[in-house]
Amino acid sequence: MPRKEVGNPANTNCLIASKSAPTIPKDNFSCLTRLDHNRAKSQIALKVGVTAKDVKNCIIWGNHSSTQYPDVNHAKVKIQGKYTGVYEAVKDDNWLKGGFITTVQQRGAAVIKARKLSSAMSAAKAICDHVRDIWFGTPEGEFVSMGVISDGNSYGVPDDLIYSFPVVLSKDKTWKFVEGLPINDFSREKMDLTAKELVDEKETAVEFLSSA
């Protein structure tokens, strides 16, 4: 049975939970980055003037924190019945490499500041999306973001981290990395930055637990 971590710091909590239950396969543990994924889709939809359902294959790389990297280099948006690349549809590279990223990274803090409350309903919707895809699989031609064990990935992310990757899920409740996506220099820097934060978090957690 898959295990899912939604408390914060989600990625490192999930990693420690996995290490505390060594008889359970690492692949059965995942943490929630679907809220960030959904926010990325919504920002693109608002910019283009479509619904979030018309946006697919956004990626959240890394940590569920302000270092996460919302990546739309491989995302597509449906306009008048046809899918096109997000960069082509938005036609604003500066926003996609600047304001879009920071908005998604800081959306949770912005909601709390505005409402004095967390975005509980958005988080609940993201949990439902996450669990639905675990049970029923991802639609053909689509992938989603999920914090999973980084062992064996092909994107240069260190092993032994719970890191958000693009994944596809099958109806047997297993997941696979989406392989072969080209990574440009801009993305590489962002992905490495959030990986470093996760390495630091892991080291801090291990040090704390070993002294407890």
Residue 64 appears among annotated catalytic residues: yes
**Integer-rounded Cα radius of gyration of the chain:** 17
| Nearest alpha carbon to residue 45 among 55, 35, 37 | 55
Contact by Cβ (8 Å): 55, 44: yes
CA distance 24 to 179: 25
Q: What is the largest CA-CA distance in the chain?
A: 59
CA distance 108 to 96: 19
**Residue in 37, 64, 74, 130 annotated catalytic:** 64
Write the DSSP string, 58-98.
-EEEB-SSTT-EEE-TT-EEEETTEEEEHHHHH--HHHHTT
CA distance 54 to 69: 21
Contact by Cβ (8 Å): 151, 162: no
Contact by Cβ (8 Å): 64, 36: yes
CA distance 172 to 11: 24
- Residues involved in catalysis: 64
